Amino acid sequence: MRVSSHALLALVFIAAPAFANVIVTSPENGETVSSPAKFEATATTTCKSGIGSMGVYIDNKLEYVVNGTTLNTTLALTPGKHNAVLQEWDHCGGATKTAVPITVAGGADATGVWVTTPANNASTAPLVAFVATATTSCANGVSAMGVYVNNQRLYVVNGAKLNTQLTLPAGADYAVVEEWDGCGGAATTPLNLTVTAATTTGGGGTTASPTAKVFTDLQSDPWRSWAQQPPLDNDCGYPCAGVDWNMVTGVKSPSMSGNATQYNISGTTPYSDVLWYDQLIGTASTHGLPDTNHTLLPTLTNFTYDTYFYVTNAGVTQALEFDMNIFANTVGMTFGTECRIAGGNEWDVWNNVEAHWVPTGVACNPINGGWNHLTTQFQKNANNTLTFVSITLNGKTAVLNQTYAPFVVPADWYGIVADFQLDGNQAMSSNTVYLDNFTFTYW
């Protein structure tokens, strides 16, 4: 990856080839499980000789090994926190691993509700992701789980896992996540939440209030774009030899709102990418928020990128990137999230300092030929580190809580930028993706 000299406020990403991947389907990152704990994973590699074996480490000790590209086992673990690592070894001398921190319930904690998100006493936007698991000493197991908000039951699901999004009213909310077991028992975990009122921003300024602000229908904004081509990752404005692209706004079908935007890419130079970017706050703001006095951006710490996307041909889609950038006082923060469809169907996040993609172990399998709903949540921390909080695709939330250091940018870069990137495959097959109902929330 290289920062463009003419980019002003945006960065370009290029999907690097994935040499090997370990995709963990169980347990989930940060999950509380009972013992014995179930471990499931698959592995892929570009090694021509294939994968030899896979294994599970618990707290740096190898506890299980199996030959082949799939792993499915249960392990008896002591109660408490453990660092689980699932690893593959290929026949070319390589190895790749995915870390999955977990908590094992037991003893007095054998029955309980373990909420991964949201955190108690959290301040959140109206759309709240609830992710929890339950354990019980009942021999019949956990029957169902549910969420109550302000003494009203809003959601119920069968089984010992809960993963959903709920829209909560603004203000102080009291939530309870509950489990019911097959022996007639129940357990609960209460949560006190402060929900900020989301208001739409327009062409004016902002007020010094604690309410969240929302940019809406971003897909219809006047986006800018350019291409980037290997092997030198050169930026290339339109027209650009070897790659062609365009976007069409106001698309009626396929569309959810009647105002979708179509993004097209084709060409002859393998693995060329096209980035479309929208400068929301700061220099060249498309929403009339230049923040000339630099008083708004320093107050912002939480961000939600939310869009619907329609994949027309997943078979020729190398990767899709949904990113945001923050630039201020020579500090750059790139919240890069990539759905790597080719090479493993996995979500990656961007390491700002080392400038490369980091596999998360979270599967990304968007619906082909239909609408997908994506929500990503980010945090800007007081020490200028950036945290990838969670990714929710089609109602299923993966809690990441991965924090990275920022990088250095020119002093005159200032603002917040939303990005969408369509990565071409080796054949640069003609490809089309649609976005609709694109919103960006900040507070």
How many helices and strands (H and E) does the chain possess? 0, 34
Identify the CA nearest to 265 among candidates 342, 346, 320: 320
Q: How confident is the model at residue 12, as a pLDDT?
A: 38
Q: How confident is the model at residue 19, as a pLDDT?
A: 61
Q: Which are the contacts of 61, defined by CB distance < 8 A and separation ≥ 6?
A: none
Any idea of the CA torsion for 426, 325, 420, 291, to the nearest 10 degrees? -150
Q: How confident is the model at residue 201, as a pLDDT?
A: 59
Q: What are phi and psi of 250, to 5 degrees?
A: 70, 30
Identify the CA nearest to 272 among candidates 106, 86, 53, 421: 421
Q: Which two tokens stand for residue 176?
A: 């309870």
Does the predicted TM-score (pTM) go above 0.75? Answer: yes
Q: What are phi and psi of 314, to 5 degrees?
A: -65, -25
Domains of the chain with bracketed CATH = 35-104 (2.60.40.10), 107-194 (2.60.40.10), 198-442 (2.60.120)
Return per-residue pLDDT of the chain as tens, 443 residues: 333 333 444 443 333 333 678 889 899 888 888 888 999 999 988 888 889 999 999 999 999 999 999 999 999 888 888 999 999 988 888 888 898 999 888 654 567 898 888 889 988 888 899 988 898 888 899 999 999 999 999 999 999 999 888 989 989 999 999 999 999 999 999 999 999 876 665 433 333 334 678 999 999 999 999 999 888 777 899 999 999 999 999 999 999 999 999 999 999 999 999 999 999 999 899 999 999 999 999 999 999 999 999 999 999 999 999 999 999 999 999 999 999 999 789 999 999 999 899 999 999 999 999 999 999 999 999 999 999 999 999 988 998 989 999 999 999 999 999 999 999 999 999 999 999 999 999 98
Burial class, 165, CB count within 10 angstroms (exposed 0-12 / middle 13-18 / buried 19+): middle
Q: How confident is the model at residue 197, as a pLDDT?
A: 75
How far is Cα of residue 277 from the mean position of the Cα atoms in its chain? 18
Identify the CA nearest to 219 among candidates 251, 265, 266, 264: 251
In angstroms, the CA 77 to CA 86 distance is 15
Q: How confident is the model at residue 42, as a pLDDT?
A: 92
Tally of CA atoms within 13 A in the half-sphere of 116 that contains its CB: 27
